[in-house]
């Protein structure tokens, strides 16, 4: 699974931030949500919503990756979450 923020410029010259979680193998979007001003409380709630959605869909997650964007807060780092470019443990390489 991978997650990333993307931005959408609105008609009223605002910026909408979209947080997307995607299953890498199938390229299926598992969960997405947006807001105008993401903060740590909002990101933490989205992580909770993602776990509820994953349990509902019965999708096994072995590894989650994201880039090193400053918009990600430490509270959102789930177990087995690695920023892109970091050293992944060898035991997870073939998972």
Residue 76 is predicted with a pLDDT of 52
Residue 28 in tokens: 């299926």
Residue 58 in tokens: 């019965």
Residue 16 is predicted with a pLDDT of 94
Domain ranges for the chain: 2-85
Is the pTM higher than 0.75? The answer reads: no
Tens of each residue's pLDDT in the chain, 95 residues: 888 888 999 999 899 999 998 888 888 898 999 999 988 888 888 888 888 888 887 777 666 666 666 666 554 554 445 455 544 444 444 44
Residue 21 is predicted with a pLDDT of 87
Q: How many CB atoms lie within 10 A of CB 10?
A: 10
């Amino acid at each position: 699974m991978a997650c990333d923020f993307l931005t959408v410029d609105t008609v009223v010259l605002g910026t909408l931030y979209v947080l997307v979680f995607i299953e890498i193998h199938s390229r299926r979007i598992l969960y997405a949500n947006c807001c105008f001003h993401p903060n740590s409380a909002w990101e933490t709630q989205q992580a909770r919503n993602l776990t509820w959605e994953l349990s509902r869909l019965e999708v096994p997650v072995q590894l989650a990756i994201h880039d090193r964007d400053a918009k990600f807060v430490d509270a959102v780092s789930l177990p087995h979450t690695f920023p892109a470019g970091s050293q992944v443990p060898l035991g997870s390489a073939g998972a």
